């Protein structure tokens, strides 16, 4: 009897670009394969389903614009997460940081003395700040007291969700909304322009693309980025070289939370124009952004691609729901499967499996 594995496992300390891309594509393929069983179990032919998904995401100008619209918050939040993950800070709290951005935008639009021409920049500024400050709580807790970042960032999401609910049902409940738990509508000066008749609020998209470039440069070409890479890869070498873990943690979370906050500003000022139930403001963009950053293998430029990809899944998922009558949770199933296979495939990236020659 064979008591050992039929292959030999050796470490691959520095996987090449080819390996990373191949393994990532393999993971996606596996996720789609497993998802077809889900379709099949629902009595839907997987091929029909994937055709509908594809059409829903890329079938025409409207479909494509819906894909881009979904990709915008994923891009902003995803780029922010990349920088946190690069420093080994596991920010699971982009969802809450995004909601804080929507709160800040609402305050600027409805309750602040900001003059109308300055409203849009003020919304992005305060949205960034709100998301940052929200993210600083776990940053300080982790770097000063060693409290687990995954738990604190995740728990902060629920506080943010309930904060929004409290505001729309209480102090910020709109006077002209027929008793619905919405804030009042934003004034026109606080609404972002969209491309033609689509929902693509282009300013946020531009901010996202520029941020991806800037963060790429920050990580790879600057001294603070160098500290992020060193501390994220070998904290004790960083300490030995005199770097401050506290300072770097605070910096990455400031940027990470701020980016998610701006994603929230884009959603509320570009699409909804009012504060409302958190599950309507964000379709779990903050969580999906984790997968976006992961699939991009922590490269901010690759986030542009992966955000678009997940935008397509959101848009296509919408189409599945409408044209095939599948439950809307189908998008979550997709996202879950993809993350599952992505993380599972890490071992294929970091280790090499070679078949043993037959004895």
Partner 1 sequence: MNEKTTPLIKFDSVVKRFPGVVANDEVSFEVEEGTIHSLLGENGAGKTTLMKILYGLYRQNSGSIYLRGEKTEIDSPTKAIELGIGMVHQHFKLVSNHTVIENIALGLSDVSVTRPTQQIERKLIELAGKYGLEVDPRAKIWQLSAGEKQRVEILRALYRGAEILILDEPTSVLTPGETERLFGVLEEMVTGGKNVIFITHKLDEVMKISDRVTVLREGRVIDTLDTASTNKQELSKKMVGREVLFDLERNPCDRGENVLEVEGITGYNDKGVVAVDDLSFSVCEGEILGVAGVAGNGQRELAEVLTGLREATSGRVLINGKDLTNASPREIAEERVAHVPEDRIKQGIVGKLTLSDNAILKNYRKKPFSRGMFINYRKVKEWTKDLIEEFNVKVPGADTPANLLSGGNIQKLILGREVSSDPRLIIASHPTYGLDVGAAEQIRNLLLKQRDNGVAVLLISENLTEVTSLSDRIAVIFEGNLMGLVERNETTRDEIGMMMAGTRFEQLER
Q: Which two tokens stand for residue 289?
A: 């952004």
For position 280 contacting partner 1 by CB under 8 A, the verdict is: no
The backbone torsions φ and ψ at residue 352, rounded to the nearest 5 degrees and listed phi first, read -110, 135
Of 37, 240, 328, 351, which one interacts with partner 1 (CB under 8 A)?
240
- CB 10 to partner 1: min, Å: 8
Residue 144 sits in the site that holds partner 1 (CB under 8 A): no
Query: Which of 226, 301, 321, 323 touches partner 1 (CB under 8 A)?
Result: 226
CA 196 – CA 199 distance, rounded (Å): 8
Contact 188, 276 (CB under 8 A): no
- Taking Cα atoms as reference points, which of 131, 92, 152, 143 lies closest to residue 290? 92
Specify the residue, 175 or 354, whose C-beta has the smaller distance to partner 1.
354
> Which tokens is 139 given?
């940053």
Q: CA dist 263 to 72, 95, 215, 306, 358, Å? A: 7, 10, 16, 16, 55
- Choose one: 36-44, 173-181, 236-244, 257-265; the region binding partner 1 (CB under 8 A): 236-244
Judged by CB under 8 A, the residue of 234, 279, 327, 344 near partner 1 is 234
For 29, the 3-state DSSP assignment is helix
Q: Using CB under 8 A, which of 18, 170, 188, 223 touches partner 1?
A: 223
Residue whose token pair is 């025409």: 60
Q: Which stretch binds partner 1 (CB under 8 A): 6-14, 69-77, 247-255, 284-292?
A: 6-14
Quote the CA–CA distance of 129 and 175 in Å, as a whole number. Answer: 28
- Cβ 246 to partner 1 shortest distance, Å: 12
176 lies in the binding site for partner 1 (CB under 8 A): no
Residue from 45, 162, 233, 279 in contact with partner 1 (CB under 8 A): 233
Residues that bind partner 1 (CB under 8 A): 3-5, 8, 10, 13-14, 221-224, 226, 229-230, 233-234, 236-243, 354, 356-357, 359
């Amino acid at each position: 009897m064979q008591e050992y594995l039929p292959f030999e496992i050796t470490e691959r300390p520095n996987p090449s670009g080819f390996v990373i891309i191949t393994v990532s594509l393999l993971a996606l393929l596996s996720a789609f394969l497993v998802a077809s069983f889900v379709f099949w179990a629902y009595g839907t032919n997987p091929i029909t389903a994937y055709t509908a998904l594809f059409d829903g995401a890329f079938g025409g100008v409207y479909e494509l614009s819906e894909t881009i619209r979904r990709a915008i918050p994923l891009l902003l939040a995803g780029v922010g997460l990349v920088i946190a993950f690069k420093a080994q800070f596991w920010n699971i709290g982009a969802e809450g940081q995004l909601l804080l951005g929507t709160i800040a935008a609402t305050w600027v639009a409805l309750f602040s003395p900001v003059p109308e021409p300055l409203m849009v920049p003020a919304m992005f500024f305060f949205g960034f700040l709100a998301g940052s400050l929200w993210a600083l709580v776990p940053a300080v807790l982790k770097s000063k007291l060693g409290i687990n970042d995954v738990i604190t960032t995740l728990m902060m999401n629920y506080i943010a969700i309930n904060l929004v609910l409290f505001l729309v049902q209480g102090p910020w409940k709109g006077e002209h909304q027929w008793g619905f738990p919405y804030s009042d509508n934003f004034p026109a000066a606080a609404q972002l322009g969209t491309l033609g008749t689509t929902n693509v609020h282009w300013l946020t998209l531009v901010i996202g693309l520029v941020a991806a470039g800037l963060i790429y440069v920050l990580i790879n070409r600057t001294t603070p980025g160098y500290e992020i890479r060193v501390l994220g890869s070998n904290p004790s070498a960083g300490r030995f070289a005199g770097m401050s873990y506290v300072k770097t943690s605070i910096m990455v979370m400031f940027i990470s939370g701020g980016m998610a906050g701006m994603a929230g500003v884009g959603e509320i000022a570009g699409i909804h124009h009012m504060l409302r139930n958190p599950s309507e403001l964000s379709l779990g963009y903050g969580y999906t952004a984790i997968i976006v950053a992961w699939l991009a293998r922590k490269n901010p430029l690759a986030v542009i691609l992966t955000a678009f990809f997940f935008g397509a899944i959101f848009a296509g998922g919408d189409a599945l729901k409408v044209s095939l009558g599948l439950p809307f949770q189908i998008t979550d199933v997709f996202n879950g499967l993809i993350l599952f296979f992505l993380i599972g495939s890490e071992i294929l990236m970091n280790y090499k499996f070679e078949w043993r020659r037959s004895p």
